[in-house]
Amino acid sequence: MSNAALVPTYDFEKAAVALRQGNQDLGQLLAELATIPAPKQQGSTAVAVMERLGESLMEAVTRLPVVFGRVKPPKVRRSLNKTELTKLALERNAIDTAIKALNERKAEIAEMVSQHFDVVAENTGLAKPGETLRDKKGHYLISSPGSREEAPLDGSGQFFTRERTSDRADFSESKLKKLYEDGTISRADYLACTEPVKGRQISEAKLRAMLVSPKRRDRAAKILRLISDVKRGTNSINLRGSAS
């Protein structure tokens, strides 16, 4: 699932306090303390996918057993004859078609299960329509690393999960350089948050030091707002066993 860059509002005071207390990753910390608008949602594609899948999936699944494994590996090293090559081509085409159709069906299953998790989240108060952040497919971003959503399956020891990768704020060196070249920030500011490595590159250590300093925090905040892109972690649907 795609996450476009979003314009964030940061709580730099909390960031400074957290940085004083430990050696946290600056990009992850800022993402955790960022408030960003929800991206525009795309409509669900479940119905369209179902209609497209039905015929091609059944055709692929029906054809595959007929052509599968008809040509056995030669017992001695030799060239293949024309009949063998033709049969292998038919089998390969059937396999490719089946894989494509099955992958699409797998994605459709993930979409249906994610909708299930959305409804459960609304019913239990974990998500509120119009307020809780969603991804571009319209699914809630409420799970986090170490805290996943689960849907147990009766009697199987398995369960569906919805898991999400960490949020992250990435810092753009090209944006920072353009700010300096345009005169938006001074040379002193540019040098204050970069270090020389075959030219200059952003230094997280220097940015951390600027944020912790009461005198330099406002300058750091201005620069970080202009060069950072917050990308929310992405959801994934998994089928796990009891030990997963």
Q: Look at residue 85 in the predicted model and tell me its pLDDT.
A: 96
Angle at 168 between CA 216 and CA 110, to 5 degrees: 165
Span 139-168, pLDDT tens digits: 999 998 888 999 999 888 899 999 998 878
Span 38-95, pLDDT tens digits: 555 444 444 554 555 566 667 777 888 889 999 999 999 999 999 999 999 999 998 8
Q: Look at residue 9 in the predicted model and tell me its pLDDT.
A: 66
Please name the helix (run of DSSP H) or strand (run of DSSP E) that holds residue 189, with its range, or none.
Answer: helix 187-192
Span 109-138, pLDDT tens digits: 999 999 999 999 999 999 999 889 888 889
CB atoms within 10 A of CB 46: 14
pLDDT at residue 212 is higher than 60: yes
Q: Which residue has the higher pLDDT, 58 or 177?
A: 177
Average pLDDT score over the chain: 82
The length of the chain, given as a count of residues: 244
Question: Once rounded to an integer, what is the mean pLDDT over residues 174-190?
Answer: 91
Domain ranges of the chain: 1-41+143-244, 46-133
CB atoms within 10 A of CB 212: 16
Dump the DSSP string for 36-62. Answer: -PPPPPPPP-HHHHHHHHHHHHHHHHH
Q: Look at residue 52 in the predicted model and tell me its pLDDT.
A: 55
Q: Look at residue 45 in the predicted model and tell me its pLDDT.
A: 46
CB atoms within 10 A of CB 54: 12
